Amino acid sequence: MLIAGNWKMNLDMPAARQLAGSIRNNLEDPGQVQVVLCPPFAYLDAVYGLVHGSPVSVGAQNMHAEESGAFTGEISASMLRSVGCSHVILGHSERRQYFGETDASVRDKVAQALRHGLVPVVCVGESLKERDAGRAEKVVSDQIRGALEGIEYPGKGRLVVAYEPVWAIGTGRTASPGEAQAIHAHIRSELATLFNAGDAAHINILYGGSMKPENADALLSEPDIDGGLIGGASLQAESFLAIVRAAMRA
């Protein structure tokens, strides 16, 4: 199980420090549950300094696929490693929607993250229009195949997938546990085709899209839901920790 908080473009430095500190101080031993905080780039170093030595890890929300060079405004995999990141969210639907990311660019970033020992959290998910047209599974399959084409299985725990139906992100509308489970099982079977069934069984597939303490238990008890990528509810220590506890129960 893995619970990751995606802070998106929120908080200032004092608030970021307070949130990270409060999560660290109030987290009971999470056991088998991995806990990852993904603050904006500007706070990575500070958040890492606060959680280092605790069970909490740090991830970024994006990165560039190139090693270094003339890419104004961009951040590389080795930079992320050098400030303590273990994970990086790639291909979030907001990146695809507002910043022109494609399956091909996500794939290049996945390869680069893996070369640097970062665990990519590869995001996929259909829009409402695609779901209503009965195309959710096809869209998600294409995204998975596009993002992982030619990528070798990196080993247990080295790759994470997040299913985030676009219509559920930040809308308060959540996929029902059954709807989410159906797509998660489908994703796992795609991963089994790309790698093999044994390896696919060890890839954490997170659900994201208005996950909160009230719906976390039901979602996380589904067999193919291995955690959550939490946006809004990750901005308060209390609600984020309640979701971590739900993962511990699942």
User: Which residues of this protein are in contact with ligand PGA, per CB under 6 A?
Assistant: 6, 164, 169-170, 208-211, 229-233
Least gap, CB of 134 to ligand PGA (angstroms): 23
Closer residue to ligand PGA in complex, CB, 47/195: 47
Least gap, CB of 88 to ligand PGA (angstroms): 13
Find tokens 């997040």 and name the residue: 162
- Specify whether 92 is catalytic: yes
Closer residue to ligand PGA in complex, CB, 117/170: 170
In the complex, which residue's CB is closest to ligand PGA? 231
Closer residue to ligand PGA in complex, CB, 88/195: 88
Least gap, CB of 16 to ligand PGA (angstroms): 17
Closer residue to ligand PGA in complex, CB, 194/242: 242
Strand partners, 161: 122, 205
Least gap, CB of 101 to ligand PGA (angstroms): 14
Measured from the Cβ of residue 214, the count of other Cβ atoms closer than 10 Å reads: 14
Cβ–Cβ under 8 Å, residues 70 and 90 = no
Give the Cα separation of 34 and 244 in Å (integer): 9
What does each C-alpha distance from 224 to 110, 160, 167, 177 come to in angstroms? Answer: 22, 13, 20, 10
Per the structure block, which two tokens stand in for 189? 């079977």
Per the structure block, which two tokens stand in for 25? 């101080």
Least gap, CB of 22 to ligand PGA (angstroms): 19
Q: Which of 94, 126, 164, 190 is catalytic?
A: 164
Q: What residues have CB less than 8 Å from 111, skipping those under 6 apart?
A: 65, 150, 151
Look at residue 163 and give its three-state secondary structure. Answer: strand
Cβ–Cβ under 8 Å, residues 14 and 39 = no
- Specify whether 164 is catalytic: yes
Closer residue to ligand PGA in complex, CB, 10/22: 10
**Angle CA 226–84–236, to nearest 5:** 55
Catalytic residues: 92, 164
